[in-house]
Amino acid sequence: MNGCRKLAAPALGLLAACSFIAVGSAQVPSPLPSVSATPSQTSSPAPTPTIAILPPDAAPQILWWSLSSATPRAGDTLYVIVLTSSNVASVELRIGGYAFNLPKTDVGHFEGGYVVPQLPFFVSHDLLMRIIARNTAGVSVETGVEIQVP
């Protein structure tokens, strides 16, 4: 993706050792939303929605999400895009006991790219990634996405 900047993630070694998809580096793509998923992408069932404008105290909503792959390999960059209601202040990705915030690129638009580490052979490679959106009051909503690291 053009115009990406890299951010260092302090937990790479710990993450890889604990059966987890880790952040080797985060890339913040341009703030232009994806119009639709490509055939190699996994995304929520609905087409890309318009951002819902809600008051700050309303319950947050995850409107749409997209992954560059549901089966990323070690060394691949997994790109994640999450579209939410306008009152969402942060989006967090959790896999196992680890959590990472997605950078906010525009109102209701969060995205980032994460390098997939080599997972130990004795660790399950079928993982559940939880996408958690929170408003400024701390009210949250979440959805789960199953991924497999071959």
Q: Count the Cβ atoms, other than its own, within 10 Å of residue 10.
A: 8
Higher pLDDT, 13 or 137: 137
Per-residue pLDDT at 42: 65
Listed residue (125, 131, 96, 95) closest to 111, CA to CA: 131
If you search the block for the tokens 């006991």, which residue do you land on? 97
Q: Where do the structural domains in the chain lie, given as residue ranges?
A: 6-148
Name the CATH superfamily housing domain 6-148. Immunoglobulins (2.60.40.10)
| pTM score above 0.95 | no
Higher pLDDT, 92 or 4: 92
Q: Is the pLDDT of residue 41 over 90?
A: no
SS3 state of residue 147: strand
